């Protein structure tokens, strides 16, 4: 079987379009412009790229973008005071603190200082608990993007065997919760899992989120399974010339695509969906804050 390629780039564009339509309606009918505040502490180059990209796309869909760039040695109380100010600001509907934070800052303390209603990352302990109990919550962006693509491809996911490889708080655990809420039979596999190849061979849906380049080969994949590759790894590419690199996922694309029914590419799969879902979460948070109907198809 040769897999259908799930085009995350095109899908993300349709999500942003839906967000833009809803933002225009909020402005016209209610005089409300959703606002997203992004806080970056320090100058990590990858984080700077993400933050710039988030700001640009926020403005493109018609929302207000507020960027707060703080020095790498910003004291914790200064960061907490900024979060308190953003929590109290009615023009700010979503708050994202870019991770990782510098070592002297307590990540859990900082994340849990964000108003859960404005926690567009879905990392606050209240949102984690709400998702875990199947209640309305803010859902982490990357797993939400994966879920949207899976629902779009399959329709209902009920009864499917799903294996999530990776147990991070940002992707693996919330992904498993979302699949469980959609009535999948879910296994979370990780570095200590015994017989990982056999576990993966039982899956109708494989979500790989471990951060190890090309670790899942095609002979682990069941014929016709759907493979969602969350990994974004930069590896050397001497075939492109000296010092050149390329991006690969956590699955070995060619061998997996040869047996899978559907697969997300890297780049152009899960990656573009993450920012699109951040924008979706911001418009959802804005609607909830104003007791207005939420946009359809943009939440879990």
Smallest distance from ligand GUN to CB 70, Å: 14
Q: Is the dihedral of CA 160, 166, 171, 173 positive or negative?
A: positive
- Please give the helix or strand (H or E) that residue 64 lies within, else none: strand 64-70
Q: Which is nearer to ligand GUN, 171 or 260 (CB)?
A: 171
Residue of this chain nearest to ligand GUN (CB atom): 99
Q: Which is nearer to ligand GUN, 96 or 138 (CB)?
A: 96
Using the rule CB under 6 A, give the single segment among 59-67, 95-103, 157-165, 243-251 that binds ligand GUN.
95-103
Q: Is 98 a catalytic residue?
A: yes
Do 257 and 228 meet the contact criterion of CB atoms below 8 Å apart? no
Q: Which is nearer to ligand GUN, 170 or 179 (CB)?
A: 170
The angle formed by the CA atoms of residues 144, 123 and 147, to the nearest 5 degrees, is 10
Examine residue 141 and tell whether it contacts ligand GUN (CB under 6 A): yes
Do 264 and 149 meet the contact criterion of CB atoms below 8 Å apart? yes
Smallest distance from ligand GUN to CB 117, Å: 17
Do 62 and 23 meet the contact criterion of CB atoms below 8 Å apart? yes
Smallest distance from ligand GUN to CB 241, Å: 29
Largest CA distance in the chain: 57
For ligand GUN (CB under 6 A), the number of binding residues is 7
Examine residue 70 and tell whether it contacts ligand GUN (CB under 6 A): no
* SS3 label, residue 156: coil
* SS3 label, residue 150: helix
| Phi, psi (rounded to 5 degrees) for 270 | -65, -40
What the block records as the tokens of 237 is 């590419």
d(CA 116, CA 94): 10
Chain residues 118-137 in contact with ligand GUN, contact rule CB under 6 A: 121
Do 10 and 145 meet the contact criterion of CB atoms below 8 Å apart? no
Q: Is 54 a catalytic residue?
A: yes
Query: Which of the 8 DSSP states describes residue 238?
Result: G
Q: Cis before residue 207, ω within 30 degrees of 0?
A: no
Choosing from 21, 99, 199, 258, the residue that interacts with ligand GUN (CB under 6 A) is: 99
Q: Which is nearer to ligand GUN, 137 or 220 (CB)?
A: 137
Smallest distance from ligand GUN to CB 17, Å: 22
**E strand segments, 156-265:** 161-165, 185-189, 205-208, 226-229, 233-236, 245-248, 262-263
Examine residue 214 and tell whether it contacts ligand GUN (CB under 6 A): no
Choosing from 96, 114, 162, 221, the residue that interacts with ligand GUN (CB under 6 A) is: 96
Q: Which is nearer to ligand GUN, 89 or 107 (CB)?
A: 107
d(CA 103, CA 98): 13
Q: Which is nearer to ligand GUN, 200 or 210 (CB)?
A: 210
Choosing from 82, 83, 93, 98, the residue that interacts with ligand GUN (CB under 6 A) is: 98
Smallest distance from ligand GUN to CB 218, Å: 28
Catalytic residue selected from 121, 204, 229, 250: 121
Catalytic residues: 54, 98, 121
Residues near ligand GUN (CB under 6 A) are 96-99, 121, 141, 170
């Amino acid at each position: 079987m040769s897999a259908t390629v799930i085009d995350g780039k095109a899908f993300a564009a349709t999500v942003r379009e839906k967000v833009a339509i809803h933002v225009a309606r909020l402005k016209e009918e209610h005089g409300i412009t959703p606002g997203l505040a992004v806080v970056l502490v320090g100058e990590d180059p990858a984080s700077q790229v993400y933050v710039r990209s988030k700001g640009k796309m926020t403005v493109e869909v018609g929302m207000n973008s507020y960027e707060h760039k703080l020095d790498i040695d910003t004291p914790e109380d200064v960061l907490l005071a900024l979060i308190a100010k953003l929590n109290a600001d009615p023009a700010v509907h979503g708050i994202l603190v870019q991770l990782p934070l510098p070592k002297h800052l307590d990540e859990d303390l900082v994340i849990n200082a964000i108003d859960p209603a404005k926690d567009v990352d879905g990392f606050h302990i209240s949102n984690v608990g709400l998702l875990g109990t199947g209640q309305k919550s803010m859902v982490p962006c990357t797993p939400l993007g994966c879920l949207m693509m899976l629902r779009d491809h399959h329709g209902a996911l009920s009864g499917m065997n799903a294996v999530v490889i990776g147990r991070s708080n940002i992707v693996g655990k919330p992904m498993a919760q979302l699949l469980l809420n959609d009535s999948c039979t879910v296994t979370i596999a990780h570095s200590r899992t015994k017989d990982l190849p056999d576990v993966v061979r039982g899956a109708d849906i494989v979500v790989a989120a471990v951060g190890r380049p090309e670790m899942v080969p095609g002979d682990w994949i069941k014929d016709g399974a759907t493979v969602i590759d969350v990994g974004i790894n930069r590896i050397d590419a001497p075939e492109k010339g000296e010092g050149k690199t390329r991006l690969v996922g956590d699955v070995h694309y060619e061998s997996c695509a040869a047996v899978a029914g559907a697969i997300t590419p890297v780049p152009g799969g899960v990656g573009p969906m993450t920012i699109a879902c951040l924008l979706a979460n911001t418009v959802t948070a804005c609607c909830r804050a104003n007791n207005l109907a939420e946009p359809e198809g943009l939440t879990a």
